Amino acid sequence: MNIILASASPRRKELLSQIGIAFQVRVSDVEEKVTTTVPHLLVQELSRQKAEAVLAVLPEQEGDVIVIGADTVVACDGRILGKPGTEEKAIEMLSLLEGRAHEVYTGVTLLRRMVRRENAEGAAEGTLGYRTERKSFYEATTVHFCHMSRREIIDYVTTKDPMDKAGAYGIQGLCARYISGIEGDYNNVVGLPVSRLYQEMKDWI
């Protein structure tokens, strides 16, 4: 079974490798379409769009495949926080998160495409088409932040570490000094709930 990760995130690639899954990376340039602001629905919607966009362009020669799409957001006070994009936005996000708890949601979509074939007597095996199955799920983790001074926030942002991360921080890096605890899956905060992913996928591989 050919497994494809529809994400360029180095953290997701590392986590998937960590649990012994052999995979390729294919990233789509699909324009994300958001129809909800409910965090757990939003991340599943975006993960599905990413997975479907990659599957749609895979050639027949790829054979049987599983495509993994994922999306992560941070939610606090009813606000959904994605990647900051600018240092000013990162400072704003961290100022909102410091000294309190918030939730991290990661949505995952698994798409399995199976090639249907038949053997005609005296003829080569012929491809009839595809059968596609889908699973979508999410995990939520509560993260508790220590108080951060304005100087600490600015110093952290200047490291550039927050810029490509939902909520403007990475729990596995320098910002770990400001995390007092979590409730739920740590890997979910990093970007991929690999235990849940494996349990959902193991019957397919």
Q: Which domains does the chain have, with CATH numbers?
A: 2-201 (3.90.950.10)
The pLDDT value given to residue 117: 65
Contacts of 56-59 with CB under 8 Å at 24 or more apart are 57/28, 58/4, 58/26, 58/113
Q: What share of the chain is helix, strand, coil (3-state, %, to 5)?
A: 35, 30, 30
- The DSSP letter of residue 4 is E
- The DSSP letter of residue 55 is H
- Where does the pLDDT of residue 61 fall: very low under 50, low under 70, confident under 90, or very high at 90 and above? confident
The pLDDT value given to residue 129: 76
* Of residues 172, 122, 166, the one with CA closest to residue 18: 172
Residue of 29, 64, 71, 155 marked active site? 71
Answer whether residue 124 shows pLDDT above 60: no
The pLDDT value given to residue 62: 79
Mean pLDDT of the region 14-28? 94
The pLDDT value given to residue 119: 57
Q: Any idea how long the chain is?
A: 205
The pLDDT value given to residue 123: 45
* Catalytic status, residue 71: yes
